[in-house]
Amino acid sequence: MTAKIRSAMSVDEPTLYVAFELGKKEWKLAMTSGFGVRPWVTTVAAGDLGAVARAVTRGRVRAKVAATGPVVSCYEAGRDGFWVHHALTSLGLENRVVDSSSIEVNRRARRTKTDRLDAQKLVMMLVRVCSGEAHVWQEVRVPPVAVEAARQVSRERTALVKEQTRLRNQVDSWLAAWGCVVSARARRATAWWRTARDWAAAPLPAELQARLARADARRLVLAEQIAALEAEQAAATRGAAPDSALGRLVRLKGVATTSASVLLDEGLVWRAFRNRREIGGLLGFAPAKYDSGESARDQGISRAGNAQWQAVSIQLAWNWVRWQPESALTQWYRAHFGARQRAQRIGIVAVARKLVIALWRYSTSGVVPAGAVLKSAAGA
């Protein structure tokens, strides 16, 4: 997700500005010394940090920036992740990672677009940001290396669960195509497809049985891997200090190990939020109004947020309403949305937003959500 623009740098200070347009085979570097100076572009092989250092040295000479003068760089967040950021900072560059979706774009039906032009545009936007102009773009908050490595567990589990669901739905479709219905309990038996019958009470074709056998083998592998990841998360929870963020979260009824792990891995603490609005921005459950001239309407929530947080926050909200019936948040939800199912589905999004904010306060400062109940020692 995005972070606010950092402190501005004076454009009067001799500074070299560098923008990277990252490609699979080559990188384009656009460099300038400030406003009114046309950027010049050079190309290096992708990942060649030595070539990058030499290009920056040439840029210093061309821009008349001292060898110890500041160099500010930026690139768009994408496939290369954050290793480029760490590599550039190790070279002495003050780097910024930009949210590509926040970059302003020419709205003409057809516009010229090349890597060279994109790099030149990006470097001039960097100059504007460093001069103190606000709302030019949004910057991505780079996670520490240890955090980025640790969140692979929760993200892998999420991906495996999605794959497991997709495989289950595929099997349902294959069976439905033959008029065959097999309960979930019956599918737990070994080689259940051999006893399954189609609409005419005939055995399934041998080719379909072979396909189901291979799918079941993949299902077993997925289940084994998911169990291993959940065991790893459970071990981390048992080893967490009671006053740590993880230790606090799992003590709340309705908050399980998996949900707490996703919240923390995606940045509930390490992003160092300053207020609830920043949390709402990352979550993405914010209203998107359209008010122009005589047209005014509500476009619903923006949904422009962290996908992992969005999914787990909705799950947490339903669990919270179930397991924390006396909490102030649940009471508010019931008072405003009552027993109407459609209203409840809409209102649960508001609960999710409020709940994540409450969990942030609890995990960082120990402020227990109003009316919330903690798990007993035996059930913890």
Summarize pLDDT for 238-283 with one digit per residue, the tens. Answer: 999 999 999 999 999 999 999 999 999 999 999 999 999 889 888 8
- What pLDDT score was predicted for residue 24? 93
- What pLDDT score was predicted for residue 111? 79
CA 28 – CA 94 distance, rounded (Å): 18
Assign 379 a pLDDT band (cuts: 50, 70, 90). Answer: very low
- What pLDDT score was predicted for residue 359? 96
Q: With 60 as the cut, is the pLDDT of residue 378 above it?
A: no
Q: Mark out the alpha helices in 64-199 (DSSP H runs).
A: 83-90, 115-130, 145-150, 152-176
Assign 289 a pLDDT band (cuts: 50, 70, 90). Answer: confident
**Which of 194, 9, 14, 184 minimizes the C-alpha distance to 96?**
9
Domain 2-142 matching CATH 3.30.420: the answer reads yes
CA 262 – CA 89 distance, rounded (Å): 28
**Which of 103, 96, 92 minimizes the C-alpha distance to 3?**
96
Q: With 60 as the cut, is the pLDDT of residue 1 above it?
A: no
Token pair of 259 as six digits: 């949900």
Backbone φ/ψ region at 107: left (φ over 0), alpha (ψ -120 to 50), beta: alpha
Assign 301 a pLDDT band (cuts: 50, 70, 90). Answer: confident
Yes or no: say if 74 and 98 are a contact pair by the CB < 8 Å rule.
Answer: yes
The ranges assigned to domains in the chain are 2-142, 149-238, 245-365
- What pLDDT score was predicted for residue 219? 96
CA 121 – CA 133 distance, rounded (Å): 15
Q: In the predicted model, what is the mean pLDDT of residues 115-142? A: 93
Assign 13 a pLDDT band (cuts: 50, 70, 90). Answer: low
Exposed/middle/buried for residue 126 (C-beta within 10 Å: 0-12, 13-18, 19+): buried
What residues have CB less than 8 Å from 66, skipping those under 6 apart? 14, 60
CA 208 – CA 216 distance, rounded (Å): 12
- What pLDDT score was predicted for residue 346? 87
- Average pLDDT of the chain to the nearest whole number: 90
- What pLDDT score was predicted for residue 377? 57
289 phi and psi angles, rounded to 5 deg: -90, 155
Q: With 60 as the cut, is the pLDDT of residue 3 above it?
A: no
Yes or no: say if 245 and 264 are a contact pair by the CB < 8 Å rule.
Answer: yes
Listing DSSP states for 94-108 in one string gives EEEEE-GGGS-----
Q: In the predicted model, what is the mean pLDDT of residues 334-350? A: 88
pLDDT in tens, 197-246: 999 999 999 999 999 999 999 999 999 999 999 999 999 999 999 999 99
Residue 248: alpha-carbon gap to chain centroid: 23
- What pLDDT score was predicted for residue 302? 75
Q: With 80 as the cut, is the pLDDT of residue 10 above it?
A: no
Q: With 60 as the cut, is the pLDDT of residue 310 above it?
A: yes
Q: With 70 as the cut, is the pLDDT of residue 45 above it?
A: yes
Q: With 80 as the cut, is the pLDDT of residue 11 above it?
A: no
pTM: 0.84
- Between 128 and 299, whose confidence is greater? 128
Q: Does the CA dihedral 84-156-169-255 come out positive or negative?
A: negative
- What pLDDT score was predicted for residue 284? 84
DSSP letter, residue 35: T
- What pLDDT score was predicted for residue 12? 60
